[in-house]
Chain A
Amino acid sequence: MTTPVFPNQRPNEKVLLKLRRHWLTWAWNIIQLLLFNLIPPGLYILFYQLIGWPVPTEGLLYIGLVLLLSLYYLGAWLIFYHAFVDYHLDVWVLTDQRIVNVEQQGLFDRTISELNILKVQDVTSEIHGHLQTFFNFGNVYIQTAGEQQRFIFQNVPHPEDVARIIIHANDIALQKNGHPENLAA
């Protein structure tokens, strides 16, 4: 058996798609990080170059500023890393047997939903706005016959292709396994 692509992958299960939100949805965190990194040099230029305050080179003020700056950068990059982990652990997986939705909310809150591929009834892709149109990402809505009425793939790249692949996977699964009403409850 090959290395599993996602947790709890079955031995005979073939992964067709592994999706995350489009990188642009995470771009705000990158911009935020850049701004955080530029604030201290900006303040230095403002106070010490433009206003002309003397730069402390020893004493309590110097020590305090250096340590504060250090903690500031550690904190900024830590926030960025946490945002990345939160983004990276939100995954939608389409296999030849099921659709798995893994959603991480914070560090200690995780929701995993599964849908048998045979229970897919309707798939809709949606692209709204100039940003989504230009970068070709959007939502995919999967109407199901299961307990959870609707699966949503949010802000995924190429939503039209994703919808087509899901429908195709459902067709193949139906051909192999018969009508979904024949499934055991």
Chain B
Amino acid sequence: MDFPYAVFEGVYVFSVLGCMVFFGLNFYHLIKFGFFDFTGKLITVLVLGIFAVTILFTIIMLREVDWTSNETLFDNTLDDLPFQR
């Protein structure tokens, strides 16, 4: 069974988008209710920085992957079972 690498990519991108949405909701609440002070700004910048570094490292570590290729998870070992003859 061939497993395309692009599935991983799709799941990852979808998850990152979900994380961004959740981050945005938290950030919105911090600003809307008027407590976006120095501490709020510091923590927000810190977390955004960590996000950027994490995604950057991920891109660097996976930059040579050919996302259009597949990997065979199960070869044809089941074809030669005795009861199938």
* Interface, chain A (partner B; CB < 8 A): 4, 6-7, 59-60, 63-64, 66-67, 70-71, 73-75, 77-78, 80-82, 84-85, 88-89, 91, 102, 104, 107, 110
Are A73 and B50 closer than 8 Å at their CB atoms?
Answer: yes
Q: Min CB distance, A112 to chain B, in Å?
A: 10
Complexed CA–CA distance, A73 and B51 (Å) = 8
Main secondary structure of the interface of A (DSSP, over half): helix
Chain A residues positioned under 8 Å from B39 (CB to CB): 88
Number of B positions contacting A (CB below 8 A): 33
Are A70 and B12 closer than 8 Å at their CB atoms?
Answer: yes
Chain A residues positioned under 8 Å from B35 (CB to CB): 6, 88-89, 91
Q: Min CB distance, B40 to chain A, in Å?
A: 6
Main secondary structure of the interface of B (DSSP, over half): helix
Are B25 and A63 closer than 8 Å at their CB atoms?
Answer: no
Chain A residues positioned under 8 Å from B50 (CB to CB): 73, 77
Are B15 and A63 closer than 8 Å at their CB atoms?
Answer: no
Are A85 and B19 closer than 8 Å at their CB atoms?
Answer: no
Are B55 and A63 closer than 8 Å at their CB atoms?
Answer: no
Given contacts A7-B33, A102-B33, contact A107 B26 (CB under 8 A): yes
19 A-B pairs with CB atoms under 8 Å apart are A7-B34, A60-B73, A63-B5, A63-B62, A66-B58, A67-B11, A70-B55, A77-B50, A77-B54, A80-B47, A81-B43, A81-B44, A82-B22, A82-B26, A85-B29, A88-B35, A89-B29, A89-B30, A89-B33
Instruction: From the candidates A7, A59, A71, A75, name the one contacting B71 in the complex (CB within 8 A).
Output: A59
Q: Which of chain B's residues has its CB closest to A5's CB? A: B34
Complexed CA–CA distance, A130 and B6 (Å) = 55
Instruction: From the candidates B19, B25, B26, B61, name the one contacting A74 in the complex (CB within 8 A).
Output: B19
Are B15 and A71 closer than 8 Å at their CB atoms?
Answer: yes
* Interface, chain B (partner A; CB < 8 A): 3, 5, 8, 11-12, 15-16, 19, 22-23, 25-26, 29-30, 33-35, 39-40, 43-44, 47, 50-51, 54-55, 57-58, 61-62, 65, 71, 73
The residue among A6, A59, A73 with the most chain B CB atoms within 10 A of its own CB is: A73
Chain A residues positioned under 8 Å from B5 (CB to CB): 60, 63
Are A74 and B8 closer than 8 Å at their CB atoms?
Answer: no
Given contacts A64-B8, A71-B15, A107-B29, contact A6 B43 (CB under 8 A): no
Q: Min CB distance, A56 to chain B, in Å?
A: 12
Chain B residues positioned under 8 Å from A71 (CB to CB): 12, 15-16, 19
Chain A residues positioned under 8 Å from B19 (CB to CB): 71, 74-75, 78
